[in-house]
Structure 1
Amino acid sequence: MTSDSLMHDSVNVTFGEKEEPMMMTGMHSVVDIFCVGCGSVVGWKYEAANERTQKYKEGKFILERFKVLGPDGSNYSVSQEAQVGGSDAHDA
């Protein structure tokens, strides 16, 4: 499991096509988000959630930390206190 955080906004990204994968917490409408610099998938944005208990995720972003690097090429490190919420991984 990764230590990804649910975020309210993201910058320097573009969006892919809407998909409706079955995730660990149910069916969601999501779009992949891509780095504008390198074009790599760095996470996803929740467009809609089918479960009422998951509606708080709508419009929020997940950035996969292991895919996001700092300006010097090293991985960013965020303390536990800075995490906003849990993550929801795509089922493989």
Structure 2
Amino acid sequence: CHKCLTDLIPTTSIISKGFTGRHGRAYLLPNTYAHKPVPRQLVTGAHTVSDISCRNCGSVLGWKYVDAEEESQRYKVGKFILETKRVV
């Protein structure tokens, strides 16, 4: 975490480093803690997402894909985006 320096996830758990978040580059992850789902318009279309945060300090670090309107984007559902500017 960029705020409290808590270790979040092993680098071997990163599925893809080729994603874009609200604050720049992001990683696609298999699991972490998520908040209540909300609709959000992203670069790749309309999705339902849940923000994810550091379990230690509560800083928002990215989001979980809960649903995707487009069939081509459904492979992301159940996975997480971790924004690289939000981590050390």
Do Structure 1 and Structure 2 share a fold, with TM-score over 0.5?
yes
Ranges in structure 1 where 5+ consecutive residues have no aligned partner = 69-74, 76-92
Find 1:6's aligned residue among 20, 28, 40: 28
* 1:49 partner letter: A
CA root-mean-square deviation: 1.3
Ranges in structure 2 where 5+ consecutive residues have no aligned partner = 1-19
SS in 1 for 2:75: helix
Q: Which residue does 1:78 correspond to in 2?
A: none
Shift of 1:61: 0.4
Q: Which residue does 2:38 correspond to in 1?
A: 19
TM-score by length of 1: 0.65
SS in 1 for 2:35: strand
Shift of 1:15: 2.1
1:26-65 correspondence to structure 2 within 5 Å: 26-65=45-84
Whole-angstrom CA distance in 2 between matches of 1:15 and 1:61: 9
Whole-angstrom CA distance in 1 between matches of 2:79 and 2:39: 16
Q: Whose Rg is larger?
A: 1
Whole-angstrom CA distance in 2 between matches of 1:40 and 1:66: 12
Whole-angstrom CA distance in 1 between matches of 2:53 and 2:31: 14
Task: Give percent identity, aligned residues only.
Answer: 42
Whole-angstrom CA distance in 1 between matches of 2:41 and 2:54: 24
Shift of 1:67: 0.9
